[in-house]
């Protein structure tokens, strides 16, 4: 019985690692027959895990999305990475996520082996963030904008510019960018017939979103660099160019995105 339970956990872990497995592949990894794999898959289904199967030359098994979240099986490095990410979330610019992260971290630390708890604790003790967010946004707002970007849905937004002017904009959202300590939305502004970068904490989208649109060619292949230029250089009346005799990556690490754009000189 213990051997069967351990094999089921191993099977579940394999199904979580990649999208699809063939029966012989799973049998080889588990050291059992294909028939045993079929029986184990049936047991997982009885436990409520949505394991889908397809037949034919390209047939196989894959774990589908279920009504409830199945246990997530992580190896040591994955567990530490998740814990560190949850610790880091305490300084996020997304409102409400700090408390949620602490709750999730508490649950995770309760089941971590002591050797991994010590690694996570060492990071928490030694690491200090110097970049506190200056503008926070809600997770709901970010997910709404992200869904519009993904689904290519037009948005009507109320927007407040840096001087306090309110305006109604019709945009085609392209990407969300986290630059410096703020969130930005890169979108095509239909009223201005040009690309614009909007501070997310200054906008409020109307719901539901508008109709679908055909994506346009983005203004730059590197949207992050484009947004950094838009918020850190382009908006200012006076601009300057400085040559720093140091590696570009080291300079970029010390220059906030809203202060300027760092370019390497060949």
What pLDDT is attached to residue 90?
Answer: 60
103 Cβ partners below 8 Å, 6+ apart? Answer: none
What pLDDT is attached to residue 237?
Answer: 60
What pLDDT is attached to residue 236?
Answer: 56
Average pLDDT over residues 46-66: 78
What pLDDT is attached to residue 156?
Answer: 97
Determine which helix (DSSP H) or strand (DSSP E) holds 157, and give its type and residue range.
strand 155-160
The pair of three-digit structure tokens given for residue 232, joined into one six-digit string: 């850190």
d(C-alpha 39, C-alpha 1), whole Å = 14
Q: What angle do the packed helices 97-111 and 76-88 form, to 10 degrees? A: 150
**Selected residue with higher pLDDT from 149 and 120:** 149
The pair of three-digit structure tokens given for residue 14, joined into one six-digit string: 């394999």
67: pLDDT strictly greater than 60: no
Q: What percent of the chain is predicted at pLDDT more than 90?
A: 27
2-63 to CATH, choices 3.40.109.10, 1.10.1330.10, 3.30.470.10, 1.10.10.10: 1.10.10.10
Question: Where are the domains positioned within the chain?
Answer: 2-63, 76-126, 137-254
Q: What percent of the chain is predicted at pLDDT more than 70?
A: 79
Q: Which of 230, 200, 186, 198 is nearest to 94 (CA)?
A: 200
Q: Please report the DSSP string for 24-84 in residue order.
A: HHHHHHHTS-HHHHHHHHHHHHHTT--EEEE-STT-EEEE---SSPPPPP--HHHHHHHHH
């Amino acid at each position: 019985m213990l051997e069967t339970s351990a094999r089921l956990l191993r099977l579940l872990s394999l199904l979580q690692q990649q999208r699809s497995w063939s029966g012989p592949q799973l049998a080889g990894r588990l050291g059992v027959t294909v028939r045993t794999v079929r029986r184990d898959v049936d047991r997982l289904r009885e436990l409520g895990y949505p394991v889908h199967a397809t037949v034919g030359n390209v047939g196989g098994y894959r774990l589908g999305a279920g009504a409830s979240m199945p246990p997530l099986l992580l190896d040591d490095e994955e567990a530490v990475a998740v814990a560190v990410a949850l610790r880091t979330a305490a300084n996020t610019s997304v409102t409400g996520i700090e408390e949620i992260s602490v709750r999730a971290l508490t649950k995770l630390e309760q089941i971590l082996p002591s050797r991994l708890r010590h690694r996570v604790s060492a990071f928490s003790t030694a690491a200090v963030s110097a970049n506190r967010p200056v503008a926070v946004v809600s997770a709901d707002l970010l997910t709404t904008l992200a869904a519009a970007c993904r689904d290519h849905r037009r948005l009507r937004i109320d927007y407040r510019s840096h001087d306090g002017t309110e305006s109604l904009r019709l945009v085609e959202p392209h990407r969300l960018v986290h630059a410096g300590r703020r969130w930005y939305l890169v979108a095509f502004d239909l009223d201005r017939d040009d690309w614009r970068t909007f501070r997310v904490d200054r906008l409020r989208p109307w719901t539901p979103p508008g109709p679908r649109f055909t994506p346009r060619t983005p203004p730059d292949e590197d949207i992050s660099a484009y947004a950094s230029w838009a918020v850190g250089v382009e908006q200012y009346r006076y601009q300057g160019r400085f040559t720093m005799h140091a590696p570009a990556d080291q300079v970029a690490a010390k220059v906030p995105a809203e202060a300027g754009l760092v370019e390497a000189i060949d």
